[in-house]
Structure 1
Amino acid sequence: MNIEKAMHRGATWVAPETPVSDVAALMRKEDIGSIPVGENDRLVGMITDRDLALRALPDGADPRTMKARDVMTKGIVYCRTDQSIEDAIHLMEDKKIRRLPVINDKKRLVGMLSLADISHHASRDLSAELVHAVASPHEGDQTGKGARQS
């Protein structure tokens, strides 16, 4: 099965200059845990609920003045609609991520592929393999700090 059949269509995204408070409000409204960040018609990063908690709140920073650019994870990892679910699973395992933006052949963001999507469309064995990979602590990081995306 290809990714297009398993993904959630119509992903929400924000610009790098979007206030962090707006990002958090959008996550709450849409009941989502991550939002891609786009600039000049290109994906440039991803913000997760974990990014908000670990980058916007500690160290006395004022989250009211922070922008999406300040908390996003750069170097976005994505997949394409025509790839197989197995390809996405291996990418997610390798990068230890739970959500992937999906782009089409015109390089447009068209959806998101999550661990939950995969659990409904892939075999139990592949789903279990992915859960095991992304739920394992990062090497040298037993606290979970330093995770790229959640």
Structure 2
Amino acid sequence: MVKVSQVMHGGAVWIDPDAPLADIAERMERDDIGALPVGENDRLIGMVTDRDIVVRGFAEHADPLQLKARDVMSEPILYCTANEELEDAVRLMERRQVRRLPVIDEHRRMIGMLSLGDVAAAAPASLAAETLRSVSAHHP
């Protein structure tokens, strides 16, 4: 079976919970990514997605230029482990309808990210198609 570590992209880093939304958006654009994990005191505490910025940053009628990562991040954080079977991680993505999962090692340190794109590139076609359908389905 394929392990998450064989498919994920490594080198993911997190942002501080007090990072301003403008800085987060700029980094997402520069790095061509749609999500950034949020960490504090060496622990993963949330995730900020481009959707979080738009929906929570603007819909709450607050001044988005005054908001920080902690104001819009999704929690609790979902993650998978590097030694986990890819299919198990994919099932979590399907159940929770998420496109990205932080990957942690045996020491609970974040070592990478598993994205829907990673799954599409490396998983068997039937699993990739099923995952795409499930993750992209309209929320109930």
Same fold (TM over 0.5): yes
Measured on the aligned residues, the alpha-carbon RMSD in Å equals 0.8
SS in 1 for 2:77: coil
Matches within 5 A, 1:115-134: 115-134=116-135
Q: CA separation in 2, counterparts of 1:76 and 1:62?
A: 25
Runs (4+) off by over 6 Å: none
Cα offset for 1:12?
Answer: 2.5
1:22-60: CA deviation from partner (whole Å, max 9, x where unpaired): 111111111100000001111110000000111112243
Pair 1:8-2:3 in alignment: no
SS at match of 1:137: coil
Q: Determine the C-alpha separation between the residues in 1 that align with 2:14 and 2:33.
A: 11
Partner of 2:81: 80
1:89-104 correspondence to structure 2 within 5 Å: 89-104=90-105
Q: Which residue of 1 aligns with 2:27?
A: 26
Aligned length: 139
Partner of 2:48: 47
In 1, distance between residues paired with 2:98 and 2:113? Answer: 12
Name the aligned partner's letter for residue 2 of structure 1: K
Cα distance in 2 for partners of 1:25, 1:105 equals: 32
TM-score (norm 2): 0.96
Q: Which SS does the other structure have where 1:75 is aligned?
A: coil
TM-score normalised to the size of structure 1? 0.90
How far is 1:131 from its partner?
0.7
Q: State percent identity of aligned pairs.
A: 47
Is it true that 1:110 corresponds to 2:134 in the alignment?
no
Query: Which consecutive unaligned segments of at least 5 residues does structure 1 have?
Result: 140-150
Question: What amino acid is aligned across from residue 28 of structure 2 in structure 1?
Answer: M
For 2:59, the equivalent position in structure 1 comes to 58
